[in-house]
């Protein structure tokens, strides 16, 4: 890689390495040796001179020992990233595109073992690792920590470098990052207090001029009637004109603060206002909203200690910590009729998603979960059951959400209550029978189920009521800590936790923590929505399924909020506006058979059209009927490009949603549909699917090109690696280089005679590579061409792209220049098209699984897992630049029209321009 040959490219090398846990200098120059001592063995590589708010590509050579036995582990090693200010202080960001939040390092990502390398790399003892992430401002430095994790033998790291190159313009689909800059006018947050308990706020300030008086936090305590309590307050100082406050310092390499608030007698609420001392003072910002927690003695870990407490014992210990009489906790049990009147949130969302008539468990104890066949629930389950070896099934089973419908069925209340109590006895807190019981989705759904069953638990203070109340309270503690610490920021799990915590606080009004939890939930819902879905209808998650789940959850929550409460009424209006902004774009992407393109995380088996129809009905709009009302928006005519002479296929080009969809459904011919995603990779939490630029295609009523789909949350092992990698999608991959996270930009649509041209630019192949993907789509969708153009710094350049065909379609190679696919009496021709460079052949693979890195020819099955299918690979090679692709035609006429358009000078100009 050369800076001179790639204008704008900056290559950064690490400063002096640091070692810990037995790691040391490697056997070769610029190499580092990391022993297999698990997590503490590490090498730390510092880098400086970064450009903030730009994508950064990390590359290094990973070498492993011949005796390595953990080659198939997806968490073979861990790369941790710590972002630093210019003075070397760590900066705490709640989200970094392309990376996960981790425990040992602020952000990071897992490195899979050598068995997951592409087939051509098998047998080697070293491989080049690539990953990318966006550097958040104001960071200008970082450290890269490479840790031992699952490896069974030492490994080496060498030739590490960071690179930043020319950046694409920001995509309209990206939600801009919010920066919390402070001024002299305070930015207030408000929380209810726990009687007799303190509150702890943790956060971090950034200022380019650290000092003893960087900012301040104004403190105002109020009583139950909302009247201000006069200072002085414990732990604060009083300043005329400002009242009680706490000075916030930001010293060099020490920018974090902890506010341990000690409420005065009679305080029921506290308002904390963050501000600068002076209007013209140094710039100061909060890097993220402060974390909110109770004092240590009221934290879940402290309450449980090392004891396996039952629910009632947990309530007794909580009463003791709150200095209440020993039997006081019996009064926390709610009245059954009051709980029965509360509208559930997650259950309502499931009803919208699956239909009101969906019932997982009938009175015959036949349980149907996650698309699997019926399974009979034992009379005395031990809660370790896993009859289908399925993660999705176990998640739903441990959530106990299936008990809600049973409890409401005639004669089912007793059975549902008995099963819930059985789960409680088998799962003391801290020792679950199945670790997936602690998954945030299962935790939130199970909490709501316990709340709903309180309506059937009999007399308040009785054994069943006390057990369920204890479970609700300790689940509530877990949800409150998830919510207050923003543990799953930019994830639907955070909204689920906050919504369920809101329900718990409403269900247990006599619990001393109810007011605190209610304010915590409201604050989390208010601040947690904007990063997921903004007022323009932009989503942070590129998955259409996850977007639809989020909208459904927001609608269910909006239906449950109290319109007579001013705060909840304002939140309800905001949720309604968010659903109204986000739903039409999803409805507009349904194909004529009612399916959404399965880009990103996409579990199978959902009736998307029915789901959207039910959600639209809840929102008061017949959105499915409106879904094709908007015409595409091609750019204006330009010199040398033919004017429109035919109507384009009906569809939607939506830069805000990051998707293209076109359909054709003329009489006498089967329907057609084309869809493509250009949502940026790494936009949501974690690295995500490598599917930017992937497409699906159907014509004459046949789904020819499909997406692998699947869910990164539930797939495991080699299947998960395949579904997330570029090999599981209809994308192009450079030889010997992994596709990374990065920006994707839609460059616009152009009209040709009888066709539309869509152009994309991506940065997922490295800062030294310019990549363009172009689709030429016929108006009647009888054919299309997909082309990829790669431009590099010089030297050999080769790529292979893939097209996954639907299972059940027969496909065969008719020579090195053509493949034929057949479904019934329908046929599709697939031919490579070389523009620059040469065609390097076709390959056809189906169910190849020699090792994890060699999985080719698989898509997800309806019930989860992988099923084999045919995938056509088409390759091209050149020097410095290479451009080629695949033409798909349903008949000879479509083939001729595509050929003619490819030869048009106007198309050539579109293909070559940037």
Q: Is the pLDDT of residue 140 over 60?
A: yes
Q: Is the pLDDT of residue 101 over 90?
A: no
Residues forming a β-bridge with 699: 702
- pLDDT tens for 827-857 read 999 999 999 999 999 999 998 888 777 889 8
**Which carries the bigger pLDDT value, residue 706 or residue 103?**
706
* Reported confidence tier of residue 682, pLDDT bands at 50, 70, 90: low
* Reported confidence tier of residue 714, pLDDT bands at 50, 70, 90: low
Residue 410: count other Cβ atoms within 10 Å of its Cβ.
6
* Reported confidence tier of residue 789, pLDDT bands at 50, 70, 90: very high
| Cα angle 211-217-223, degrees, rounded to a multiple of 5 | 165
Q: Is the pLDDT of residue 644 over 70?
A: no
Nearest to 782 by CA among 701, 700, 887, 665: 700
Query: Do residues 417 and 464 lie in contact, with contact meaning Cβ atoms separated by under 8 Å?
Result: yes
The two structure tokens encoding residue 733: 């991959």
How far apart CA 726 and CA 191 sit, in angstroms, is: 45
Read off the pTM: 0.92
The residue-averaged pLDDT of 403-427 equals 91
The residue-averaged pLDDT of 123-135 equals 86
Secondary structure (H, E, C), 279-314: CCCCCCEECCCCEEEECHHHCHHHHHCCCCCCHHHH
Average confidence score pLDDT of the chain:
88
Q: Is the pLDDT of residue 622 over 50?
A: no
* Reported confidence tier of residue 584, pLDDT bands at 50, 70, 90: confident
* Reported confidence tier of residue 637, pLDDT bands at 50, 70, 90: very low
The residue-averaged pLDDT of 869-873 equals 95
pLDDT at 630: 40
How far apart CA 236 and CA 309 sit, in angstroms, is: 38
In this structure, what are the phi and psi dihedrals at residue 769, rounded to the nearest 5 degrees? -120, 125
pLDDT at 429: 85
* Reported confidence tier of residue 723, pLDDT bands at 50, 70, 90: confident
Q: Is the pLDDT of residue 309 over 60?
A: yes
The residue-averaged pLDDT of 180-194 equals 94
How far apart CA 427 and CA 98 sit, in angstroms, is: 36
Q: Is the pLDDT of residue 690 over 50?
A: yes
pLDDT at 3: 44
* Reported confidence tier of residue 121, pLDDT bands at 50, 70, 90: low
**Any idea what DSSP says for residue 753?**
T
Secondary structure (H, E, C), 775-806: EEEECCCCEEEEEEEEEEEEEEEEEEEEEEEC
DSSP states along 114-173: GGGS-GGGTT-SEEEEEEEEEE-TT--EEEEEEEE-S-SS-EEEEEEEEEE-PPPPPPTT
pLDDT at 315: 95
In this structure, what are the phi and psi dihedrals at residue 49, rounded to the nearest 5 degrees? 80, 25
Strands 243-250, 375-376: pairing kind: unpaired
Q: Is the pLDDT of residue 646 over 60?
A: no
Q: Is the pLDDT of residue 144 over 80?
A: yes
The two structure tokens encoding residue 906: 């106007």
How far apart CA 162 and CA 146 sit, in angstroms, is: 14
- pLDDT tens for 43-99 read 999 999 999 999 999 999 999 999 999 988 889 999 999 999 988 889 989 889 999
How far apart CA 249 and CA 226 sit, in angstroms, is: 31
Torsion of CA 804, 808, 814, 817, to 10 degrees: -10
pLDDT at 107: 93
Q: Is the pLDDT of residue 308 over 90?
A: no
- pLDDT tens for 481-507 read 999 998 888 889 999 999 999 999 999
- pLDDT tens for 380-391 read 999 999 999 888
Instruction: Express as a percent the part of the chain with pLDDT over 90.
Output: 59
* Reported confidence tier of residue 253, pLDDT bands at 50, 70, 90: low
Q: Is the pLDDT of residue 629 over 70?
A: no
**Any idea what DSSP says for residue 240?**
T
Instruction: Express as a percent the part of the chain with pLDDT over 70.
Output: 93
């Amino acid at each position: 890689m050369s800076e001179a040959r790639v204008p704008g490219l900056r290559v950064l090398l690490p400063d002096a390495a640091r070692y810990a846990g037995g790691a040391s200098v490697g056997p070769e120059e610029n190499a580092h040796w990391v022993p297999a001592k698990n997590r503490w063995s590490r090498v730390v590589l510092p880098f400086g001179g970064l450009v903030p708010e730009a994508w950064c590509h990390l590359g290094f050579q990973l070498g492993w020992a011949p005796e390595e036995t953990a080659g198939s582990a997806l968490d073979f090693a861990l790369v941790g990233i710590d972002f630093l200010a210019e003075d070397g202080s760590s900066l705490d960001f709640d989200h970094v595109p392309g990376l996960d939040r981790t425990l040992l390092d602020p952000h990071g990502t897992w490195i899979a073992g050598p068995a997951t390398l592409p087939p051509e790399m098998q047998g080697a003892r070293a491989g080049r690792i690539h990953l990318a992430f966006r550097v958040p401002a104001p960071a200008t430095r970082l450290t890269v920590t490479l840790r031992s994790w699952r490896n069974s033998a030492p490994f080496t790291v060498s030739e590490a470098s960071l690179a930043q190159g020319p950046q694409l313009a920001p995509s309209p689909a990206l939600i801009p990052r919010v920066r919390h800059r402070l001024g002299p006018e305070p930015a207030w947050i408000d929380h209810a207090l726990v009687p007799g308990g303190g509150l702890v706020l943790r956060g971090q300030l950034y200022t380019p001029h650290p000092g003893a008086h960087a900012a301040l936090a104004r403190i105002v305590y109020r009583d139950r009637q909302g009247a201000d309590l006069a200072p002085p307050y414990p732990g604060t100082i009083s300043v005329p004109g400002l009242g009680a406050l706490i000075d916030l310092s930001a010293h060099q390499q020490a920018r974090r603060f902890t506010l341990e608030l000690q409420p005065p007698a009679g305080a029921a609420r506290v308002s904390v206002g963050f501000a600068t001392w002076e209007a013209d003072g140094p710039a100061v910002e909060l890097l993220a909203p402060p974390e909110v927690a109770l004092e240590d003695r009221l934290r879940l870990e402290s309450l449980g200690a090392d004891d396996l407490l039952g629910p009632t014992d947990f309530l007794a210990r909580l009463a003791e910590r709150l200095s209440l009489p020993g039997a006081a906790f019996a009064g926390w049990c709610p009245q059954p009729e009051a709980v029965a009147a509360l509208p559930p949130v997650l259950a309502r969302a499931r009803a919208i998603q699956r239909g009101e008539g969906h019932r997982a468990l009938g009175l015959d104890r036949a349980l149907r979960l996650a698309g699997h066949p019926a399974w009979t629930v034992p009379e005395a389950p031990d809660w370790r059951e896993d009859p289908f070896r399925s993660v999705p099934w176990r998640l739903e089973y441990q959530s106990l959400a299936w008990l809600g419908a049973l409890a409401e069925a005639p004669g089912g209340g007793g059975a549902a209550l008995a099963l819930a109590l059985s789960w409680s006895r088998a799962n003391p807190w801290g020792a679950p029978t199945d670790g997936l019981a602690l998954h945030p989705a299962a935790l939130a759904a199970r909490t709501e189920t316990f709340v709903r069953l309180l309506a059937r638990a009999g007399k308040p203070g009785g054994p069943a009521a006390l057990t369920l109340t204890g479970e609700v309270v300790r689940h509530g503690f877990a949800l409150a800590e998830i919510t207050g610490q923003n543990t799953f920021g930019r994830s639907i799990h955070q909204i689920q936790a906050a919504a369920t915590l809101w329900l718990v606080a409403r269900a247990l009004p006599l619990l001393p923590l109810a007011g605190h939890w209610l304010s915590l939930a409201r604050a989390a819902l208010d601040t947690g929505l904007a990063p997921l879905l903004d007022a323009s209808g932009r989503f942070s998650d590129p998955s259409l399924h996850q977007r639809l789940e989020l909208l459904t959850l927001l609608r269910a929550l909006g239906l449950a909020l109290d319109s007579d409460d001013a705060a909840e009424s304002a939140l309800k209006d905001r949720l309604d506006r968010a659903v109204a902004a986000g739903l039409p774009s999803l409805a507009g992407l349904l194909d004529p058979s009612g399916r959404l393109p399965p880009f990103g995380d996409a579990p199978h088996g959902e009736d998307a059209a029915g789901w959207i129809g039910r959600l639209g009905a809840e929102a008061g709009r017949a959105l499915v009927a409106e879904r094709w009302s908007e015409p595409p928006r091609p750019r204006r005519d330009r010199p040398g490009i033919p004017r429109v002479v035919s109507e384009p296929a009906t569809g939607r080009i939506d830069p805000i949603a990051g998707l293209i969809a076109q359909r054709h459904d003329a009489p006498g011919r089967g329907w057609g549909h084309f869809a493509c995603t250009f949502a940026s990779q790494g936009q949501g939490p974690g690295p995500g699917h490598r599917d930017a630029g992937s497409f699906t295609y159907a014509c004459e009523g046949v789904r020819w090109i499909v997406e692998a789909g699947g869910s990164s949350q539930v797939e495991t092992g080699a299947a998960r690696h395949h579904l997330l990698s570029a090999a599981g999608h209809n994308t192009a991959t450079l030889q010997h280089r992994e596709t990374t996270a990065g920006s994707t930009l839609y460059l616009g649509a152009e009209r040709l005679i009888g066709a539309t041209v869509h152009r994309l630019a991506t940065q997922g192949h490295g800062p030294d590579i310019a990549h363009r993907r172009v689709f030429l789509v016929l108006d009647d969708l009888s054919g299309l061409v997909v082309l990829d153009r790669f431009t590099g710094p010089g030297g050999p350049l080769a790529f292979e792209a893939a097209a996954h065909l639907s299972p059940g379609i027969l496909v065969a190679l008719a020579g090195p220049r053509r493949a034929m696919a057949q479904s019934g009496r329908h046929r599709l021709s697939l031919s490579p098209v070389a523009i620059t460079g040469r065609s390097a052949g076709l390959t056809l693979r189906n169910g190849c699984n020699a090792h994890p890195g060699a999985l080719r020819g698989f898509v997800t099955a309806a019930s989860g897992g992988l099923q084999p299918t045919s995938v056509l690979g088409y390759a091209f090679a050149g020097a410095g630049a290479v451009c080629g692709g695949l033409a798909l035609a349903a008949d000879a006429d479509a083939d001729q029209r595509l050929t003619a358009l490819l030869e048009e000078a106007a198309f050539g100009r579109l293909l070559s321009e940037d």
